[in-house]
Amino acid sequence: MIENRPITTFVSHTVLILGVALIVFPIWVMIVASTHDALRLTQVPLPLLPGDQFWINLKLLFSGKEFGAPIHLTLLNSLVMALAISFGKIVISIISAFAIVYFKFRFRMFFFWMIFLTLMLPVEVRILPTYEVIANFGMLDSYIGLSVPLIASATATFMFRQTFLTIPDELMEASRIDGASPMRFFIDVVVPMSRTNIAALFVILFIFGWNQYLWPLLVTTDPDMYTVVMSIKQMLESGESEPVWHLIMLTALIAMLPPILVVIFMQKIFVKGLTDSEK
């Protein structure tokens, strides 16, 4: 039996509401700022209610290259980069984990731990040699140069390996008796049973790729290859002129939408993977 304690309920709900307000308030300020003009944002106090300049600001933002590259082009670059990193990491990691778990070969665990040890070498640590390799192969200012160095993932390999270890060996034996090849077993059994992990990893990896700043900053010199995160930074550093905060906030608002949509869409698949009775 659950006791009804009004004071405890009131305090817990108050703390929850304050926490949500603390998180949502900066986002609300960003939304409000994107609906006013530049002059209103220089006045005190700052507006806390939406204005009527949203569509004008949106048209101005999409109109041209005031800040290096059009916003729609930077969004496309970020989308291609995030999708390439997400799918690349998942494909390479799930195949490598499958090989480590289901194929018996010499130094199998040695190679697994070598992959796992790469967690101690993030991109920031090996950024100079990685940049040199990309430059020598002529991959600067390209989608390949933006995504390929970030594709390998020891964390995803480890997660898939742990998932595969929970799959009963009887399924593998039954598939072998039925004459299924290793790749048929992989496609028909292993991948469907890993859909929850794939959905969760895709959300994490997409946001990881979308928010990249340092690596795109190094490998892109052509404004047409800038990502949306780089575009926001360049708008903040707009030379001697004052930052156009209404356009900066609008760009940040637009940049938030793809990750939010991915989280909302993949959440349904994630829940379905957890509640699927056939799993």
Q: What is the pLDDT along the chain (279 residues), one digit of tens a residue?
A: 455 677 888 888 889 999 988 988 888 888 888 888 877 777 777 788 888 888 888 888 887 655 567 788 888 999 999 999 999 999 988 988 888 888 887 888 888 888 877 777 777 778 888 888 888 888 888 888 888 888 877 888 888 888 888 888 888 888 888 887 888 888 888 888 888 888 888 888 899 889 888 888 888 888 888 888 888 887 777 655 677 788 888 888 888 889 888 888 887 776 664 554 344
Q: What is the pLDDT of residue 1?
A: 47
Residue 11 to residue 4: CA distance in whole angstroms: 13
Residue 69 to residue 224: CA distance in whole angstroms: 6
Residue 174 to residue 177: CA distance in whole angstroms: 5
The neighbour count for residue 215, using CB atoms within 10 Å, is 22
Q: Would you tell me which CATH number, out of the four given (1.10.3720.10, 3.40.50.720, 1.20.1250.20, 1.10.1740.110), belongs to the domain 71-278?
A: 1.10.3720.10
Residue with tokens 């800038």: 226
Using alpha carbons only, what angle is made at residue 250 by residues 249 and 251, rounded to the nearest 5 degrees? 90
Encoded amino acid at 227, one letter: T
Q: Could you tell me the residue ranges of all domains in the chain?
A: 6-63, 71-278
The neighbour count for residue 200, using CB atoms within 10 Å, is 17
Tokens of 158: 């480890």
Q: What is the pLDDT of residues 66-110, one digit of tens each?
A: 556 778 888 899 999 999 999 999 998 898 888 888 888 788 888
Residue with tokens 């707009």: 238
Length of the chain as a residue count: 279
DSSP sequence for 52-100: S-HHHHHHHHTSS-TTSS-HHHHHHHHHHHHHHHHHHHHHHHHHHHHHH
What is the number of H-type helices and E-type strands within the chain?
A: 14, 0
